[in-house]
Amino acid sequence: MVHLKINNVPVEVKEGTTVLEAARVAGINIPTLCYLKDINEIGACRICVVEVKGARSLVAACVYPVNEGMEVFTNTEKVRKSRKTTLELLLSNHKRECLSCVRSTNCELQKLSNEYGCDENRFKGERTVCEPDESTSYLVRDNEKCILCRRCVAVCRKVQEVGVIAPVRRGFSTHIGSAFEESLAEANCVACGQCVAVCPVGALHEREEIDNVRAAINDPEKVVVVAAAPAVRAAIGEEFGYPIGTNTEGKMFTAMRMLGFDKVFDVNFGADLTIMEEANELLERVKEHDTLPMFTSCSPGWIRFIEYYYPELIPNLSTCKSPMQMFGATVKTYWAQKEGIDPKNIYVVGVMPCTAKKFEKTRDHENASGYPDIDAVLTTRELAKMIKNSGILFGDLPDGTFDNPLGEFTGAGVIFGATGGVMEAALRTAAEKLTGKPLDKVDFKEVRGVKGIKEAEYDLNGTKVKVAVASGLTNAKELCEKIKKGECDYTFVEVMCCPGGCVNGGGQPIQSAYTRRQVDLRAKRAKALYDEDKKAEIRKSHENPAILQLYKDFFGAPGSHRAHEILHTSYVNRKK
């Protein structure tokens, strides 16, 4: 242990601790812009500078280790002046359109500039000018707002193992870009949006579809259907001041109706439907000794990753569409037929914790009715924005509910939003199909938790099923390499592109680096989903009465010819 003083407060911390972390122990917050705990600790922005007694100059607290007897001062006139000057220099080359920026009031640069009383015009001069990159269907990058903190670079390289962006050129010409100045559409970007989630300013944001959705709602010829993914209910409350991990599902349903949607369903229904098809496919592969392990196919960022980087493993992917796409396909076939509505007049909106879903809806073979399964995708943030600018007081709303039958869901459906959730939901169904008897317990806790890779083995009526769960593409890459080399004998593998699963998706409410340092967003949001599962009356997908009726009336049985035509898809080799 090391003993030191920070602002004359005695502190005891482990050797190797940085001044930044030691200050947190002392109850003192040192501001940062580039820092992301365990991901981007490079001392680049110089906002976290402090005075250390005996040191010749100010030091960056995020990378400076403590030592015995050290005396640190975090709030001297010299420190405050340095931070203010640094902020004003950043503002001198920043596209200052704060009132119209997507990150207004939730921008770390804006917050610090306000706290330090910065003059945005103090340093006038040349400013970097460039066109925003709007080449993709899911993301916009505006380098005129970029402060070169490199958080996006770090998360893309270290957490997602993709590394399609990096600092380009030097000096005043430095900017974040892709190799050979390719656009994001030309790069091997997987569309996960984790770069958006960590950006401290408005340099990265999703490609909004709010105007398209409002136009559909205002079109008298359109029947506009909306449904939210499991993870949305565990996070949207954060946009309205609720504590992290609060499930505001009921208020969300009410708000959706007030926005003018004709039907409010739930993608959890699609999750239960996915389990019916996916569990059946897994059992068929085991029975027929077909390609194993079978990979889950719910996460479009993971699908793009495997298409770009491991196309030889495409045969291992389940052919099941994602819950969102299954839901949309069912709305425009079964429900359209049931209600006597021409599918061309149905407009389906998915509310997702994910930016990659905006790409997924444009994929080939995602149009079972002859029209796109999904017409628009709103992120959790976009839905919150719609609610806010419609004058709806979210916190004052009564709890509403979903419409039937495509809103009914089980506990198995809701846990899809957390890493391990798809695996657990599938095991609940596959186990009963294999054993032919009800489970003594439906909780498969071995596959839960935020650990990057989890493994388990189950004996199901003599059939040994070895499973693995990974979240974050660095962990996915590790599993892919082991599978390629024949170093493991898994039966079933779940991969979620985003660390912790959809609860930590690129479309979820953005939390500051400070909050991310203090709180495990993944664990708190996932808990909300597991709590809902625990109290659900029905916790197995194959016991969902609406799903059973759907098969009886329309699909016949899981894996039927009609089910394959509507609920399954294919993949492409994107390797360059």
Q: What is the pLDDT of residues 253-265, one digit of tens each?
A: 999 999 999 999 9
Q: DSSP labels for 53-108?
A: TT-SS-EETTTPBP-TT-EEESS-HHHHHHHHHHHHHHHHTS---GGG-TTTTS-H
Print burial letters for 526-545: b (CB count within 10 Å at least 16), e (below 16).
bbbbbebbeebebbbbbbbe
Give percent of the chain above pLDDT 70.
Answer: 100
Closest-CA residue to 455 (of 484, 414, 490):
490
- Cα distance between residue 277 and residue 320, in whole Å: 7
φ, ψ of residue 6 to 5 degrees: the values are: -120, 115
Identify whether the C-beta of residue 262 lies closer than 8 Å to the C-beta of residue 400: no
What pLDDT score does 463 carry? Answer: 83
Task: Please give the CATH architecture assigned to the domain spanning 2-75.
Answer: Roll (3.10)
Alpha-helical segments (H) within 243-311: 249-259, 267-288, 300-309
- Cα distance between residue 526 and residue 530, in whole Å: 6
The pLDDT tens digits for 140-193 are 999 999 999 999 999 999 999 999 999 999 999 999 999 999 999 999 999 999
Statement: residue 362 has pLDDT above 90: yes
What pLDDT score does 434 carry? Answer: 86
Closest-CA residue to 330 (of 551, 76, 103, 119):
551
Identify whether the C-beta of residue 425 lies closer than 8 Å to the C-beta of residue 541: yes
- Residues in the chain, total: 576
Closest-CA residue to 479 (of 512, 442, 457, 452):
452
The alpha carbon of residue 345 and the mean position of all alpha carbons in its chain are separated, in whole angstroms, by 30
What pLDDT score does 440 carry? Answer: 86
The CATH number, out of the four listed (3.40.50.300, 1.10.10.10, 3.40.50.1780, 3.60.15.10), of the domain defined by the range 211-567: 3.40.50.1780
Identify whether the C-beta of residue 548 lies closer than 8 Å to the C-beta of residue 307: no
Identify whether the C-beta of residue 35 lies closer than 8 Å to the C-beta of residue 108: no
- Cα distance between residue 234 and residue 228, in whole Å: 11
Considering the chain, tell me which residue range(s) the CATH 3.30.70.20 domain(s) occupy: 121-205
CB within 8 A of 150, min separation 6: which ones? 34, 40, 42, 44, 167, 176
Q: Which structure tokens are listed for 568?
A: 């399954």
Identify whether the C-beta of residue 245 lies closer than 8 Å to the C-beta of residue 369: no
Peptide bond into 293 cis (omega under 30): yes
pLDDT band at 78 (very low <50, low <70, confident <90, very high): very high
Q: What's the rounded mean pLDDT across residues 371-383?
A: 98
Considering the chain, tell me which residue range(s) the CATH 3.40.50.1780 domain(s) occupy: 211-567
Q: DSSP labels for 425-489?
A: HHHHHHHHHHHSS--S----GGG-SS-SEEEEEEEETTEEEEEEEEESHHHHHHHHHHHHTT---
- Cα distance between residue 184 and residue 377, in whole Å: 19
- Cα distance between residue 280 and residue 299, in whole Å: 19
Give percent of the chain above pLDDT 90.
Answer: 95
What pLDDT score does 435 carry? Answer: 85
Average pLDDT of the chain, as a whole number: 96
Tokens 């000018």 correspond to what residue? Answer: 129
Its pTM stands at 0.96
In CATH terms, the fold of domain 121-205 is: Alpha-Beta Plaits (3.30.70)
What pLDDT score does 125 carry? Answer: 87
Considering the chain, tell me which residue range(s) the CATH 3.10.20.740 domain(s) occupy: 2-75
Q: What's the rounded mean pLDDT across residues 507-516?
A: 96
CB within 8 A of 202, min separation 6: which ones? 101, 102, 103, 104, 107, 142, 145
- Cα distance between residue 142 and residue 132, in whole Å: 4
What pLDDT score does 576 carry? Answer: 82
- Cα distance between residue 444 and residue 442, in whole Å: 6
- Cα distance between residue 260 and residue 518, in whole Å: 38
The pLDDT tens digits for 18-61 are 999 999 999 999 999 999 999 999 999 999 999 999 999 999 99
- Cα distance between residue 436 and residue 433, in whole Å: 5
Helix-then-strand count for the chain, H and E:
20, 17
Identify whether the C-beta of residue 534 lies closer than 8 Å to the C-beta of residue 410: no
Statement: residue 333 has pLDDT above 90: yes
Statement: residue 418 has pLDDT above 90: yes
The pLDDT tens digits for 549-567 are 999 999 999 999 999 999 9
The pLDDT tens digits for 387-413 are 999 999 999 999 999 999 999 999 999
What pLDDT score does 460 carry? Answer: 82
Identify whether the C-beta of residue 325 lies closer than 8 Å to the C-beta of residue 374: yes
What pLDDT score does 213 carry? Answer: 98
